[in-house]
Amino acid sequence: MTLTLSTISREQHLAYIQSLPAASHCQVPAWADVKTEWRSESLGWFDRDGQLVGAGLVLYRQLPKIKRYLAYLPEGPVINWYAPNLADWLQPMLAHLKNQGAFSVKMGPPVVIRRWDSAAIKSGIQDQDVKRLRDVEATHIEPRAFEVADRLRKMGWQQGEDGGAGFGDVQPRYVFQVPLANRSLDDVLKGFNQLWRRNIKKAEKAGVEVVQAGYNDLEEWQRLYEITAERDHFRPRPLSYFQRMWTVLNSEDPNRMRLYFARHEGENVAAATMLIVGGHVWYSYGASANHKREVRPSNAMQWRMLRDAYAMGATVYDLRGISDSLDETDHLFGLIQFKVGTGGEAVEYVGEWDFPLNKLLHKALDMYMSRR
């Protein structure tokens, strides 16, 4: 199969993404407008008949003082990763990026390697000797993913450092997903653990209502989000980031981003943003007040968002990053504990990979990043 690669228009890129069952929200053309500190480019792969058969959003970040760039394809490119001739897809991309002044390329193949169902995770949590997800036997292993990793290594790609729970600019290697395909909503609810079902009922009884909100409510979202940031010790993104995200994503597709609030007695006590690309729906950012936790607004909100995703025909509801720690003393443990209650599965991707086009500059960047 002879492949050619060239820059494509955003329209071509979007049309290609829309022709697929799903793709990562980090690979839609409008994501480039969310990440304004990066320069961007849409790449297209064409077969010998001139058909567009793959696409990638590249973000370029310039090195301080010199005209060389780190080229980053978050959760992409969107190509046939299982193709035996993977080099024929990636070599032209590397050549093109080098021409564009890239000294290093980072990408995140959207390739799943292992899955653990809730029962496996629970038994891992109960086992004193188990500290990490990878110490637990996977419920499902994707043998082709190991072949992909193998091919990448042979081509000179290096596996990047673990992105942990996906805080910061690196995409998460471990995520938590609730599969919706070929399941009834009743099945999904039955999959929730007792505590979750009890909390959903509790919220209902207490009169918690979950509403979908709009652009003008982002200031209220920001208020709750900053309360959460202070409580959980992370640096919040500014309001302008979410306003830009809303504007650019929803002008690309009016149903790309949604905002939800959980209200109790007229007061907003929890909020969340949702992203939608084809059949893949993500719970993206979450926030909650410091009080009224006893009425379980977060459980009510997740259940509403999941039902909405289901009504849209989504095949997966993605709760995004988790850490792979099953150690109850770990500060990120609460995250997996909350998500595992939905009866979904932990999913491990092959992670992010780097290709140093200029070894010296790549090493310099590594050192710079590790000092930050």
**Tens of pLDDT, residues 25-59:** 999 999 999 999 899 999 999 999 999 999 999 99
pTM: 0.93
pLDDT tens column, 119-143? 999 999 999 999 999 999 999 999 9
The mean pLDDT of 177-206, rounded to a whole number, is: 97
Q: What is the pLDDT of residues 317-363, one digit of tens each?
A: 999 999 889 998 888 888 899 999 999 999 999 999 999 998 888 78
pLDDT value at position 166? 37
CA–CA distance, 115 with 281 (Å, rounded to integer): 18
Q: Is the pLDDT of residue 168 over 70?
A: no
Residue 195 has pLDDT above 50, yes or no: yes
Give the count of beta carbons closer than 10 Å to the beta carbon of residue 169.
Answer: 14
Predicted confidence (pLDDT) at residue 2 exceeds the cutoff of 90: no
Tell me how far apart the alpha carbons of residues 150 and 157 are, in angstroms, rounded to a whole number. Answer: 10
- Sole residue written with tokens 């709750």: 224
Check residue 95 and give its pLDDT.
97
Selection from 313, 252, 319 nearest residue 284 by Cα: 319
What tokens does 190 get?
């039955």
Q: What whole-number distance in Å separates Cα of residue 193 and Cα of residue 302? A: 14
The average pLDDT across 196-203 equals: 97
Q: Which residues pair with 346 in a beta bridge?
A: 116, 176
Average model confidence (pLDDT) across the chain: 93
β-pairing, 102-107 vs 353-356, is: antiparallel
pLDDT digits (tens, 9 = 90+) for 94-112: 999 999 999 999 999 999 9
Cα 8 → chain centroid:
24
Q: 185: which 2 tokens?
A: 């909503």
Mean pLDDT of 191-203: 97
Strand runs (DSSP E) across 47-173, as ranges? Answer: 52-62, 69-73, 102-107, 112-117, 140-141, 158-159
- Per the DSSP assignment, residues forming a β-bridge with 262 are 210, 270
For residues 201-220, give the mean pLDDT: 98
Exposure string for 248-280, b = 16+ CB within 10 A, e = fewer: bbbebeeebbbbbbbbbeeebbbbbbbbbbbbb
Q: How would residue 22 be classed by pLDDT, with cut points 50, 70 and 90?
A: very high
pLDDT bucket at 368, cuts 50 / 70 / 90:
low
The answer to whether 41 and 60 are in contact (CB under 8 A) is yes
- Residue 78 in this model has a pLDDT that exceeds 50: yes
Q: Give the pLDDT band of residue 370 (cuts 50, 70, 90).
A: low
Residue 272: its pLDDT value, please?
98
Helix or strand (DSSP H, E) at 252: helix 239-252
Nearest to 77 by CA among 38, 100, 110, 122: 110
Which residue bears the tokens 């049309």? 15
Residue type, 333: F
pLDDT tier for residue 169 given thresholds of 50, 70 and 90: low
Confidence at residue 369, expressed as pLDDT on a 0 to 100 scale: 65
User: Contact, 78 vs 107, CB < 8 A?
Assistant: no
Q: What is the mean pLDDT of residues 174-181?
A: 97
pLDDT of 372 over the 80 cut = no
- Residue 164 scores a pLDDT above 80: no
- CA quadruple 300, 303, 304, 307: dihedral, nearest 10: -170
Question: Does the bond joining 77 to the residue before it have cis omega, within 30 degrees of 0?
Answer: yes
